[in-house]
Structure formats: C-alpha cells, structure tokens
Structure 1
Amino acid sequence: MTNKPRPGLAIAALSLGTSLNPLNSSMIAVALVVLREDFALDVATVTWVITSFYLASAAGQPLMGRLADRFGPRRLFTFGMALVAVTCALAPFAPNFALVCVARALMAVGTATAYPSAVVMVTELSRLAKLPATRPLGRIQMANTSAAAVGPVVGGLLVSLLGWQALFAVNVPLALLALIVVHRAAPADAGRETGKLSTLIRDSDIPGILAFVASLMLAMMALLNVMPGYRWWLLGAATFIAAVFAWRELRFRPPFLDLRLLGRNRPLLLVYLVFVVFSGVYYFAFFGLPQLLQEAGHYDAGLVGLLMFPLAAMSVLVTPVTVRLIERFGVRSVMIAGALILLVASGGLGALTLSLWPPLVFVLTALMGVPYGVVSTASNQGLYVSARPEERGVAAGIFQTCRYLGAITATVLIGVLYGPGVNQANWGLMVLVMLGLGAVVLGLAVAWKRKGG
C-alpha cells in the first residue's frame, strides 16, 4: 500500500532535516572548553571537532546531491537521517576524542543529504501543494538560517545541563522524526537509475568523485591551516588534483560533474560566485565582530551573544517577505536590492570604529541581518531556476559548499587583519574589505540573468 503524499508535512520534515547541518555546525562552539577538559586536549587539537564537520560537509554536499539526482531524493534523505540517528546514538559513548571527530564527520555526511534532497523534491512538492516553488524553498531557507541562529543557545543549555554528549543525542529524535515523516508524506522517487550494481558503479565515476573530494578537502585544510608548516604543500596538492579532476571529467561519460555544461550555464556560475563572496562578507561580521566586542569593548560573552542575535533573527524575519518580493519582482531585482542593502549595512558597521555603544551595535547587527536574509534567499531561488531539473541535487550541493568556502575564507582574512591586534582601527580595515567584497556582490547580481530571459 502506497502512502498518499502530503506536501505540506513533507516540506516541514525536509526543513527539519535541512536544519540539522547548520544547527550542529554552530552549537558545537560552546562545547570546546568541556571537550578540552574531558579529553585533556590543547586548543589546537580540540578545534578538529569543528574542522572535521566542516570538511565532511563541504566535500559531502555535492556528492550527496549527485546521488540524489541519480537514485532519488527521498531514498537518499532517509539514508542520511538514518546515518545521523545511528551515529549520534553511539557517539556519546566514544572512548576517545578521535572517535568523537569521526562521529562528527559521519554526522556531517548524513546531514549533507538533506538540503540537496529537499531542493530536488521541491518541484514535485510545490506542484502537489499548488504553490510556486519559491514558497517551499523559502521555508527551507528559514530553517537553515534559524537553526544557525539558535545553535549556540541550544548548545549552551544542553552542555551546561547534560554535557557535550547531549549535542549528539539531541539529533537522534530529530533525525528519526524527519526520516519517518518524509518516508510517509513525500512522493516516492520516480525515474531514477536502476540496474545491475556493477553497471551503476562503473557509471558512477568513482575516480572523479575521489579526486573532487580530495582536492576540495586539501584546499580547505590549507585555508584552515590545520597543518601549520604544510599549508602551501596542501594547496599545491589540491591544485594538482583539481587539474587531474578537470581533465578526467572532460573525457569521462557520464561525468560526476559536467564541467562543459557548468561552463555554459553562466547564470548558475554567477549564483555560486555571488554566494561565495556574499558569505565571505557575512562571516566577516559573524566571526569578526564578537572578537572586537570581547577584546576591544571588554564585554562578557553573554552580552556579546545578545548583541549578535539580531543579525540572525532579522534574517529569519525578512525571508518570507523576500519570497513574496521575488514572486512579484523576480530574482534579479531582489538580489540587486539585497546587494545594495549589504553595502549600506557594511558601511554602517564602520561606525564601530568610533564607538562600541551597545545600542548602536544592536541596531547595526539587526541591519546586517537584512541583506543576509535577502541575498541568501534570492541566491537560493536563483540556483533553483538556473540549474537543470535533473542536476538540481548536485547544483544544490555545490551551493552549500560555497557557503563553507566563503566562511573559511573570511576566517583566514580575519586572522590576517586582526593579527596585529583586535582593535577598532583594524576593524576599520575589515569594513573596507567588506565594502569591496560587497561591491563585487552587487556587480555579480547586476550581471546575473535567468537563463532564457
């Protein structure tokens, strides 16, 4: 007996599953001190619990998207949630820190299935619900944003009451709920690849997948400087493997990533560039401002968290408004408007070189949250209309990887600019960089045009 699809319920469950990746990427930050104490670690070593998640997420998103395109989004989503549930049920019993990092990586791979699967399913779900695709995409975007916002708050409560183990355990019921509801409420996969296992493996371009994952992970390890003294070696190896990957993909049929098609799809490339550069600007504020407030303003962590909250909260509030504006004025117009607001908000942050008065900080972080909601949502919609339906999974995966690339690039540049000292003068230099990157976002937004008109 086949369950009747219930699109509204399915979208809610997909949004829940999608929220697990940003939730777990943000709430772990509050557990670093406890993990150091429990496993007797130094500061550099404990950060691997974050790095392992970032690396696995960034490399896993495009791969999971490709699998969703080939074998079906509902099937892949349920597999991913099952992997999360099993991993997080076992992780609290990990006897050493290395296994905690392995569990984090597996959890990242599992949660990486959600966003690409959701994007692939949006077309059918919006048709069944008789809604424009912008609505379910907007709800998914809200889930991503709100999860990242509440992550530190939820994580702080769990760690203080139950310990770091609770950060894993809380995922078990959430993943199982998302799995069960999507399995029962989402439409069954149709028109996906079947056949002999040997044929499927042969056509999967395993060497291409391995080269893609290896080059991306080595590049990110270089950016994160996880092996001091070997950064340039890692970057060189990443470049070489990336060249080999490109050479193979241009010759293999069917390729893991069709570079010729990607090269011809200018709107999709521009969406990726917009999101990478925009994410860099956003994470300059997200990571750089708290350090300024704590070290130059001498504010305690609680006050800093309160002052930063409007940045994420405002982005959640403007998302549904942005969806309606896109339906009325189109993706390009809203993306350009978001880029203009980004420039205004970035320039406004320059006022913090003169004063760190808390009400001023509160207003400016709220203002910065507006372009985050607008540009993120417009980019998400731009991705959907730019990618071919049969390739939306891998396209969505690469889109999420762009977020990580922007975030990591921002952290590297923050380290450079704050190197001489975390003070208002160096924050001013950071604002200038944000304005420059914001101008690039605006130029890319103006250049973007939906394929076919």
Structure 2
Amino acid sequence: MTRTAHEVDSNADDVPHATAPELPSRFVTSIAFGTVLQPLNSSMIAVALVGIRTEFAAGTSVTWLVSALYLATAVAAPAMGRLADVFGPRRTSLAGFALVGLASAAAPFAPTVPALVACRVLIGIGTAAQYPCGVAMVRRAADRLRARSGNALASLAVCSQVSVALGPSLGGLLVGALGWSGVFWINVPLVVLGAAVMLRWGPADPPSPVGRGARARALLSVDPVGMALFTVSLTALMFWLLSLSEDPQWWWLAIAVPAAAATAWWSLRGEDPFLDVRLLGRSALSLTYLRTVVTYTAFYCVFYGFPQWLEESRGLGPVGAGLVVLPISAVGVVATLTANRLQRNRSHWLSLTIGSAALCAGGALLLVPGASAPIPLLLVIAAVLGLPNGFNNMGNQRAMYAVAPAWAMGAASGLYRTSQYVGANLAAAVLVLTFGARPTDAGLHRMGLAVAGIAAFLLVTAVYGTAVERHRAA
C-alpha cells in the first residue's frame, strides 16, 4: 500500500538509524534548558504558600497559585505549539522566555493574591511554550541533519523529572533566604541564561513572515476563534474537575460539553484549524493522548499523595518527607535513561509494558505501610514508585513523536503536554476521594488501590499494543 508524504514523514523516526549520529549536544542543551521552567515553577510554589498566605491573610485562595499554573499551561501548550508551527519554534521559545522573565520580575510587587495569580498565569503561558517548541526543534534538527533524536527526547524527559523533584528543595532554600518572592526571582536569571543559550546554539528557524500584512495573515492562520473555543471548553472542564474536591459544580460541565462540540465543528469547517480534529482522527495519536492522561493521573496521585501521608500521618515533617521521596526522582532518572537505550532498537510498547507493570507493583506496595512503617521500607516503596516514571514517560513521548505528522509537531506536542495536566487535575479529584479530609493510613491504601487499578488498565493496553504490532509485523 502506498503511503502519503505526510504519513511517511510522520513515521520517519520509526525507521532504525543504526549508523545515523545523535543530535549535537549543543542543540540538546539549548533545547532542554527551557523545559525545566514549567516543572520547577509547578513544584517550588508548594513551600512558598504558607508565607504568601500569611503576608496577604489570604486563606485558602492561595491554592489558586497552584491551579492557575496548571490551567494556564494546559490551555497554552497547544496554542504555543501552534504558534511554533507558524512562526518557528525558536522564536516562540524566546518569546516564552521573555514572558516568564517579565511576569516573575513583577510578581514580588503584586499588591494582592489575584494579582499574584495573574502573574502565575503569565508564567504558565510562557513556560508552556518550551516543551512543544523543544520537540519541534528536535524534529527539525533531526530531519535536517539526518540524525537520531533519542538523546534529545531523553534529555527533555530527564530535565522534567529532575526539576520537578528538586523544586521543593530549591524552593525551601530560596524562601529561607529571600522569603516567598525568591521562588519568582529565581526565574529571572534562569530565563536570561536560557535565552542566551538558545540564541547561541538553538536550531535556527525558517524565515519568518515579513511585513505587517504577512504577520497578520500568519496570526490569523493560528485560528484565534478555534483557540478561544478550545480555551473555553478546557477551562470549564478544569473548573469542573477542581470543584470535585468540595461541592461539584455541574454547570461548568454544561459549558464544557457544548464548547467542545463547537470546537470540533469549527475545526472541521476550517482549512487550517487551531485544533485539528482530523489530526485526532489518527487513532494511534488520540489513544496516545488518552493513555497519557490516565498515566499522569496515577503519577500525580503518587507525587502529591505519598508525600502528604509521609508528612502528616507518618509524622516525618516536610524535610523528612522530601528526603524519603528522593528515590522517586533518582530511580526515575535512571529509568528514563534505560528506557531511552531500550527504545533505540525496540518498540515503545516494551517501555510502556515495563512502566505499567512497575506502576501496578508500586500501587500494591502502598497497601503495606502504616503510621509506624520503618524508614527503609518507605525508601524501598519510593524507589519502586520511581521506576515506572521513566519508562512510561519515554514510551508515551516516543509514541507521540512517532505517529504525529512532522508538519504539526509543535501542536501535537502541545496537546501531549495538555494531556499531562488534565491528568494532574484528575489526580486532585482522585486524592480527595481517597484521602478525604486528611491523608490517613486507610486513605493511602485506597490511593494505592486506585493507582494499581489504573496501572492494570495501562498494562492491558500495553500488552494489547504489543500483540497488534507483532501481528502487523508478521
């Protein structure tokens, strides 16, 4: 059967490149540097909330500093990916750096919590640009140099893993030295350094549209109407998910569903829509997004739920809980590197099978500890819980990269990122349902059952995917 040019291009990375070189390290460094900003900002804020609450006498409203970043990132990631496809990923990445730097410099002077939340929204938009732009630059550079992209994709995954885990520790040092504003000030030198590295070594973009008319046509090609409809549907969905923790507000769902239908209708009638429903018609890509949502629901349950239990029920405090969960990060980095090597010659389904099986085992182990559980046992459980992260992350990322068309890699990568943060908000609802008012031993065990159940579903899909791939090969 003859494949179209787009289909050939979209699956080019599936072909073994035994003799092809990896991307130059200078490209990888420049691309990976920016991707630390989002996970770092999502985790550093946790240790600053008490100081912000005290200074502004804000009460529970400070929780929007966490939710606003996830919401902004979930909406902005596909938009930034779409802009990267039109204007070039390096230009879009640099614009994101500038937005993060300006918002972070302004945040310490915010007079109210809503103003601080607005700064977090801008930071979320700016950091959302980095991952889809990074993947798009990887694809452009790999195609141009006829190089393998495995090391670059692994670097993106490792940077994300490490920065999420180190965020609370770094944030604690900054808050201790500079107060809560330190978690914002740190972004300023980071974005200056990141922009300098990007300008020096980042893969060049194709020529930009010139002239006011050309730029206006390029902006219109991003489809602002489709972007607005998608934003309304996803924002309403996120508000509904966040409301599940207290009193479910079903009217948000009544907004989300019609807005999603309108988004699909608008997409089908446009020649170059912001959210190409026809792209989601590629079953392999849409299933990858669905699997990513489910995977990250389990991941964020572990990432936020286990430390809460360690701190409150086990009585380790924030420092002790942070030290106990460090193996999640350390083992996750090793698993990421191992999965990257494994995928050089094997299918991504093998990584997903290993990751799902390990996640199932980790969820089952969460049924064991109680309030008096010994530290060595907790460290072993943390190490097992770190194992699936690298394999699942690399497997899903490689699956998306392999089946998404090269001409829409930025938008496809943005939707992949959005899938992760939809999972994060689903995890918040799961934690409320399992923990209740506080993380008790029984709540930890219920969370473990939920994680194990999710992992069992993922394992079935991975085994099925492996069987289908072998059948096709035969």
TM-score, length of structure 1 as denominator length:
0.93
Match of 1:434 in 2: 451
Match of 2:3 in 1: none
The 5 Å alignment of 1:10-29 reads 10-29=27-46
Could you tell me how far apart the structure 1 residues matched to 2:245 and 2:229 are? 20
Deviation at 1:354, TM superposition (A): 8.8
Match of 1:389 in 2: 406
The 5 Å alignment of 1:32-431 reads 32-42=49-59, 44-126=60-142, 131-190=147-206, 196-225=214-243, 231-263=249-281, 265-352=282-369, 356-419=373-436, 422-431=439-448
Could you tell me how far apart the structure 2 residues matched to 1:450 and 1:120 are? 26
| Deviates further, 188-197 or 339-348 | 188-197
Could you tell me how far apart the structure 2 residues matched to 1:8 and 1:311 are? 27
Q: Does the CA contact (< 8 Å) of 2:244 and 2:429 recur in 1? A: no
In the superposition, relative to structure 1, how do residues 289 and 180 fare at CA in structure 2: closer, same or farther (>3 Å)? Answer: same
In the superposition, relative to structure 1, how do residues 420 and 107 fare at CA in structure 2: closer, same or farther (>3 Å)? Answer: closer
Match of 1:3 in 2: none
Q: Does the CA contact (< 8 Å) of 1:134 and 1:323 recur in 2? A: yes
| Deviates further, 50-59 or 124-133 | 124-133
What secondary structure, in the 3-state scheme, does the structure 2 residue paired with 1:432 have? helix
Q: Does the CA contact (< 8 Å) of 2:366 and 2:444 recur in 1? A: no
In the superposition, relative to structure 1, how do residues 340 and 183 fare at CA in structure 2: closer, same or farther (>3 Å)? Answer: same
What residue identity is the alignment partner of 2:108? P
What residue identity is the alignment partner of 2:183? L
What residue identity is the alignment partner of 2:405? R
What secondary structure, in the 3-state scheme, does the structure 1 residue paired with 2:270 have? coil
Could you tell me how far apart the structure 2 residues matched to 1:280 and 1:185 are? 36
What secondary structure, in the 3-state scheme, does the structure 1 residue paired with 2:81 have? helix
Q: Does the CA contact (< 8 Å) of 2:31 and 2:202 recur in 1? A: no
Could you tell me how far apart the structure 2 residues matched to 1:373 and 1:114 are? 20
In the superposition, relative to structure 1, how do residues 369 and 95 fare at CA in structure 2: closer, same or farther (>3 Å)? Answer: same
Q: Does the CA contact (< 8 Å) of 2:245 and 2:433 recur in 1? A: no
Could you tell me how far apart the structure 2 residues matched to 1:141 and 1:299 are? 29
Deviation at 1:226, TM superposition (A): 9.0
What residue identity is the alignment partner of 2:243? N
Q: Does the CA contact (< 8 Å) of 2:314 and 2:372 recur in 1? A: no
Deviation at 1:57, TM superposition (A): 0.7
Could you tell me how far apart the structure 1 residues matched to 2:241 and 2:62 are? 18
Q: Does the CA contact (< 8 Å) of 2:158 and 2:336 recur in 1? A: yes
What residue identity is the alignment partner of 2:252? L
What residue identity is the alignment partner of 1:393? G
| Deviates further, 396-405 or 351-360 | 351-360
Deviation at 1:68, TM superposition (A): 0.7
Could you tell me how far apart the structure 2 residues matched to 1:288 and 1:181 are? 36
Could you tell me how far apart the structure 1 residues matched to 2:279 and 2:375 are? 50
Could you tell me how far apart the structure 1 residues matched to 2:306 and 2:280 are? 36
Could you tell me how far apart the structure 1 residues matched to 2:70 and 2:244 are? 12
Deviation at 1:322, TM superposition (A): 1.3
Deviation at 1:30, TM superposition (A): 0.3
In the superposition, relative to structure 1, how do residues 351 and 95 fare at CA in structure 2: closer, same or farther (>3 Å)? Answer: same
Post-superposition Cα deviations, 1:149-190, rounded to whole Å, max 9, x if no partner, equal: 100000000001111112111111111111122122123212
| Deviates further, 291-300 or 212-221 | 291-300
Could you tell me how far apart the structure 2 residues matched to 1:410 and 1:229 are? 17
Could you tell me how far apart the structure 2 residues matched to 1:164 and 1:227 are? 26
Post-superposition Cα deviations, 1:196-231, rounded to whole Å, max 9, x if no partner, equal: 244334433211100101111111111112996572
What residue identity is the alignment partner of 1:260? R
In the superposition, relative to structure 1, how do residues 414 and 350 fare at CA in structure 2: closer, same or farther (>3 Å)? Answer: same
What secondary structure, in the 3-state scheme, does the structure 2 residue paired with 1:352 have? coil
Could you tell me how far apart the structure 1 residues matched to 2:411 and 2:370 are? 42
Deviation at 1:88, TM superposition (A): 1.6
Q: Does the CA contact (< 8 Å) of 1:18 and 1:111 recur in 2? A: yes
Q: Does the CA contact (< 8 Å) of 1:8 and 1:129 recur in 2? A: no
What secondary structure, in the 3-state scheme, does the structure 2 residue paired with 1:438 have? helix
Q: Does the CA contact (< 8 Å) of 2:83 and 2:222 recur in 1? A: no
What residue identity is the alignment partner of 2:204? A
Post-superposition Cα deviations, 1:252-276, rounded to whole Å, max 9, x if no partner, equal: 221111112311x122122212211
Deviation at 1:421, TM superposition (A): 5.5
Could you tell me how far apart the structure 2 residues matched to 1:300 and 1:343 are? 27
Percent sequence identity is: 36
In the superposition, relative to structure 1, how do residues 33 and 405 fare at CA in structure 2: closer, same or farther (>3 Å)? Answer: same
Instruction: Give structure 2 stretches of 5+ with no counterpart.
Output: 1-22
Match of 2:20 in 1: none
Post-superposition Cα deviations, 1:279-327, rounded to whole Å, max 9, x if no partner, equal: 1112222222222223332222221111111112210122112110111
| Deviates further, 412-421 or 135-144 | 412-421
Is the aligned partner of 1:9 residue 2:15?
A: no
TM-score, length of structure 2 as denominator length:
0.89
What secondary structure, in the 3-state scheme, does the structure 2 residue paired with 1:250 have? helix
Computed over aligned residues only, the root mean square deviation of the Cα atoms, in angstroms, reads 2.2
Q: Does the CA contact (< 8 Å) of 1:315 and 1:370 recur in 2? A: yes
Q: Does the CA contact (< 8 Å) of 1:10 and 1:181 recur in 2? A: no
